[in-house]
A and B are shown apart, each in its own frame.
Chain A
Amino acid sequence: MKLITHNILMCNKKGCTKNNFPLRLVVKQYADYEADNAQEYSANLMTRLLEKLDWNALKITVATLPDWGIALPDAVTPELAKDEAFLQSLHMLLVRRQIIDGEMVCPNCERSYEIKNGIANMLLQEDEV
């Protein structure tokens, strides 16, 4: 599962409608694809990905993963959006990095959604819907 997918998921539990995004990401295992094996980098690809991204949610999430050693700027300025080195590092983060095992925890109700074998499990129990 990639961070762009985490970026669109919120808690679905019945009654949990506020402060339920972004889910707190706990990473137990991740893997980085080699540049040769992953979706090819292009400035256009990165621009298109950024269009739909909730940047603030991404920034908050990455900040809670200190061992990744990545600090994102507050906003993507027009200058940054043309900066090759910045876009390359985003390609690494958004395209090549896969979360294999972990969980996503709702900041409001603490409901945990498991990530196992790269699959996000957003299924709810009967009493949660």
Chain B
Amino acid sequence: MKKSKKQRGEGETTKKLSTFKLKSFITFLSQVAQFPDPKIDLEQYMTPPDIAANLFSILHQDEDSIENKRIADFCSGTGMYSCASTYFNPLSITGFEIDPEAIEVAQENVLSMEIADRVDFINCDILKIVENNPKLHGLFDTVVMNPPFGTKNNEGIDMKLLSAAITCCKGKVFSLHKESTSAYIQKYVKEQHPGLEAELMHKIEFDLPNTYKFHKKKSATTEVVLVKIDVSKREVRKVTEMLGAQKLE
């Protein structure tokens, strides 16, 4: 199995945005307002603008997964990933979020950033809507997601959301997960979605400064990993199996 695991900042093979363009991208994303009052049960925290800018530069330049693509942002929160996607001229962006208050902030964000025509937000329970709406299955070229890590009485929610993302995608899924769960994610994807594999791309350190009042330390660092699942491989696999060819490895 091929694994690529890069430390942040190490990507010498990465074709990067010019420093200037990256800086303006970060400035653009600095306009995205935070959760005013993060809800503990939804594990709400926003990806910081600099991390989001780096992340989406990679998705655009190395993965060709934004421009001219139909994009879904699962657990869109206050809209950081939706806003980041608008930077590289996608076909369309749909944000899915369960929390009405977060989605209102997200809508205010895209309005004040003058990108409201690019993003549509849907207030819904993603797991329910994906289960009941076959129109969404295989609809999106790219699904980006920053799900709750499933740690606060919410166990397994991250895996369910990952499965929903895979269901709705025909290109690539990009999802952020706790580094400590990466072995489990790889096992889960292999078992639940035969033919697909979860590739661990970049390790990122998240500073979560006082997001929740119960955090004892002033700021806690969480190791997060960007997971990629190339769903288009599933289709290839199906066809090859039909033709009786050897299994792809």
Contact = CB atoms under 8 A, between A and B. Distances in A.
Partners in one complex: yes
Interface residues of A, number: 32
Contact of A12 (B107, B128, B139): B128
Interface string B108-135: 0000001011101111110011001101
Contacts of A39: 89, 117-118
A8 B72 CA distance: 12
Contacts of A52: 70, 139
B68 interface: yes
Contacts of A119: 103-104, 107, 121-123
Interface in A75-123: 95-96, 98, 117-123
Interface string B77-88: 000000000000
Contacts of B122: 5, 9, 119-120, 122
Interface stretch (B3-11, B90-98, B181-189, B199-207): B90-98
B91 A123 contact: no
Nearest to B130: A12
B128 A120 contact: no
B100 interface: yes
Contacts of B91: 45, 48-49
Nearest to A97: B117
A12 B103 contact: no
Contacts of B128: 12, 124, 129
Interface of B: 68, 70, 89, 91-92, 94, 98, 100, 103-104, 107, 114, 116-118, 120-125, 128-129, 132-133, 135-136, 139
29 contacts: A4-B92, A5-B94, A5-B120, A5-B122, A9-B122, A9-B133, A12-B124, A12-B132, A21-B135, A39-B117, A39-B118, A48-B70, A49-B91, A52-B70, A54-B135, A95-B117, A96-B117, A98-B117, A117-B107, A118-B107, A118-B120, A121-B100, A122-B122, A122-B124, A122-B129, A123-B98, A124-B125, A129-B125, A129-B128
- Give 4 closest A-B pairs by Cβ, nearest first: A122-B124, A5-B120, A12-B132, A121-B123
